[in-house]
Structure 1
Amino acid sequence: MLMQRLTLVTAAAFMLLSINACSQDSGPTLAAPDAYAQAQAGKLTLIDIRRPDEWKQTGVAKDALQINMAHPQGDAGFVAQVTAETGGDKNVPIGLICRTGNRTTQMQRVLTEAGFTQVYNIKEGMAGSGAGPGWVARGLPVEACERC
């Protein structure tokens, strides 16, 4: 009986550890105000990875590059465009923002796997999430999308 309980406890612990490992973030995060301050200070390249219709809907975070993650050439095209925008410097600090922080998690992983070393996820996004109220609700500046 004791052996069965021990086995059950061990299995439960393993499952909890596995779930926790799967839910880990892919890298460092920044709150929207911190990302804005760093971008304004020239210490962070801010990239909005949403679609043009989303940029048109809410505007774009002030001074953010607009690089649609749904690139016609897939992840490789996205990485190539980010690489071009950063002058090939894979050590430049980059802050990714989307609507609610889900897509940025995915693209943070893509850029890190491509060799970028400082990719930050602005997890609250433009619209807000469990990570925070979001860029727009915080009253951070946005610019109209000129290319939408």
Structure 2
Amino acid sequence: MARDNQSEGGEPAAERAAGLTRRQLLLAFGGLGLTTAGMTNWWRSQPVAHDHQRLTPVEAFTAAGAGEITLIDIRTPREWRQTGVPVGAVAIDMRRQDFLQALNAAVAGDLTAPVALICARGVRSARLTRALVEAGYSRIIDVPEGMLGSASGPGWLAGNLPVARWQG
């Protein structure tokens, strides 16, 4: 009996090789898909580059307490419940349909008033900094460390800065 072109299961060697190739292709495409998904999530988590002023959490706390800036916490109500709101900040969820109107009310309609934005890790505040400048605000300031810390530094909470319980 000739066994040169047959595997132990009776499968021709060419089919066995083709099956292995299909398997390798499926694994490769699966790995590529996972890599792409991971890179997409990583990219979304990166702060947008901008050349606007930045403050550390300590600087933002001090400036807000002195009335030099309006500090806006742009996170969500769920986040405010979890960690509290920075003392001296106005909590305005950036997803609100009337976000610009609420921000205008917080600064009494003064588009030249210095406004500092803080979020969890500096990603949303960086993105919103650019959007608000495009909307006509001239003195938007980013707090890139955020509440939880980022590559920019340890953040508001790790700095043991005061928070108030959210009353929402």
* Superposition TM-score tier, normalisation by shorter sequence: 0.7 to 0.9
Correspondence for 1:131: 152
* TM-score w.r.t. length of structure 1: 0.79
Q: 1:101 aligns with which of 122, 130, 133?
A: 122
Query: Could you tell me how far 1:24 is from its partner in structure 2?
Result: 3.1
- Runs of at least 5 residues in structure 1 that lack an aligned partner in the other structure: 1-22
Contact residue 26 and residue 108 of structure 1 kept, 8 A:
no
- Distance in 2 between residues matched to 1:58 and 1:118, nearest whole Å: 27
CA-to-aligned-CA distance 1:83-132 (integer Å, 9 cap, x gap): 12111001111110000000001111111111111110000000000001
Higher relative contact order, structure no. (Cα contacts within 8 Å, ≥ 6 residues apart): 1
Q: 2:91 aligns with which of 60, 63, 66?
A: 66
The list of structure 1 runs, each at least 4 consecutive aligned residues, that deviate by more than 6 angstroms after superposition, is none
Q: 1:54 aligns with which of 79, 84, 87?
A: 79
* TM-score w.r.t. length of structure 2: 0.70
Instruction: For residue 124 of structure 1, give the secondary structure of its aligned residue in structure 2.
Output: coil
- Runs of at least 5 residues in structure 2 that lack an aligned partner in the other structure: 1-47
Give aligned pairs, total: 121
Decide which structure has the larger Cα Rg and report it: 2
Tell me how large the CA RMSD over aligned residues is: 1.1
- Distance in 2 between residues matched to 1:32 and 1:85, nearest whole Å: 20
Q: Alignment identity in percent?
A: 41
